[in-house]
């Protein structure tokens, strides 16, 4: 289910719950409108409200944590790319082919992570980014350092490339959703029941309808935020590509 559909479904279910409560309140016999009945219903729905608020806060926190982690990983990844480029520059002109491979890999990585973003695109037929990274590591292994300085730079560059490979596979493992969507659906059901209870004893006028509408829109917005942040490279809120773009720009600098 897409992010927009999640928000639309949440709004429709929750708002319809409020409208259903208003309709049921109009047809319930008068004996069900007593103060004692209202107190019991309000107590029960108060517990549901507390559970829903706790779960909503937990889901927002989980999604935000995943988004922040992805953002930090991208910044660290870009820093490692810039470091690897400088190590190859310090190695000398013998590493020019390896530097070209690094630029090619960076282009592919940016294009795969942000397919709709601006910037250079890999040539048709180019291998995927992970394959280019393996080729980059093989190119580093093929360097033949002649001096102590070159040996030091080659060893450090190999370690940096290995760290990039480790981060790449870690990102692949983290692509799965951290927020369990059945959990979100259960929360929406709780909120449906809660809004039904709101409408049961509410007066039937336009102001009440507007209040229920605003409440449903607010909660639907929170659901959209949760699902959106749980996919940090898709949707409206995405991890910025600026660190990677800056890294690529520095590779082209003299």
* 118 belongs to a structural domain: no
Per-position b or e across 27-66, b if 16+ CB within 10 A of its CB = eeeeeeeeeeeeeeeeeebeeebeebeebbeebbebbeeb
* 122 belongs to a structural domain: no
* 104 belongs to a structural domain: no
* 200 belongs to a structural domain: yes
Domain total of the chain: 1
* 40 belongs to a structural domain: yes
- CA 104, 106, 112, 116 torsion-angle sign: negative
What is the per-residue pLDDT for 86? 92
Per-position b or e across 77-101, b if 16+ CB within 10 A of its CB = bbebbbbbbbbbbebeeebeebbeb
What is the per-residue pLDDT for 84? 92
What is the per-residue pLDDT for 66? 86
* 233 belongs to a structural domain: yes
Q: How many CA atoms lie within 13 A of 104 on its CB side?
A: 19
Range(s) of the domain holding residue 11: 3-93+148-252
What is the per-residue pLDDT for 15? 93
pTM: predicted TM-score of the whole model, two decimal places: 0.79
* 123 belongs to a structural domain: no
* 213 belongs to a structural domain: yes
pLDDT in tens, the chain (254 residues): 577 788 888 999 999 999 999 898 888 787 777 888 888 888 888 888 888 888 888 888 888 888 898 899 999 999 999 999 999 999 888 988 999 999 999 999 998 888 877 777 887 888 888 898 999 999 988 888 889 999 999 999 999 999 999 988 888 777 665 667 777 888 888 899 999 988 888 888 999 999 999 999 999 998 888 888 888 888 788 888 899 999 998 887 66
């Amino acid at each position: 289910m897409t992010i927009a559909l999640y928000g639309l479904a949440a709004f429709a279910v929750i708002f319809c719950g409020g409208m259903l409560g208003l309709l049921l309140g109009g047809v319930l016999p008068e004996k069900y409108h007593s103060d004692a009945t209202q107190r019991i219903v309000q107590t029960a729905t108060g517990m549901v409200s507390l559970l829903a608020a706790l779960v909503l806060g937990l889901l927002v926190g989980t999604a935000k944590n995943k988004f922040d982690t992805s953002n930090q990983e991208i910044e660290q990844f870009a820093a490692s790319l810039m470091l690897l480029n400088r190590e190859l520059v310090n190695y000398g002109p013998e590493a020019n082919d390896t530097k070209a491979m690094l630029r090619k890999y960076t282009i592919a990585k940016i294009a795969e992570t942000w397919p709709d973003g601006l910037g250079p695109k890999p040539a048709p037929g180019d291998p995927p980014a992970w394959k280019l990274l393996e080729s980059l590591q093989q190119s580093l292994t093929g360097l033949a350092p002649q001096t102590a300085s070159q040996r030091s730079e080659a060893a450090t560059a190999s370690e940096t490339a290995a760290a990039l490979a480790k981060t790449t596979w870690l990102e692949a493992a983290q692509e799965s959703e951290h927020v369990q969507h059945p959990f979100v659906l259960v929360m929406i059901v709780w909120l449906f029941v809660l809004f039904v209870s709101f409408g049961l004893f509410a007066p039937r006028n336009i102001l009440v309808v507007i209040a229920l509408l605003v409440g449903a829109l607010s909660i639907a917005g929170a659901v959209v935020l949760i699902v959106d942040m749980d996919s940090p490279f898709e949707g409206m809120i995405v991890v910025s590509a600026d660190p990677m773009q800056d890294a690529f720009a520095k590779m082209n600098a003299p």
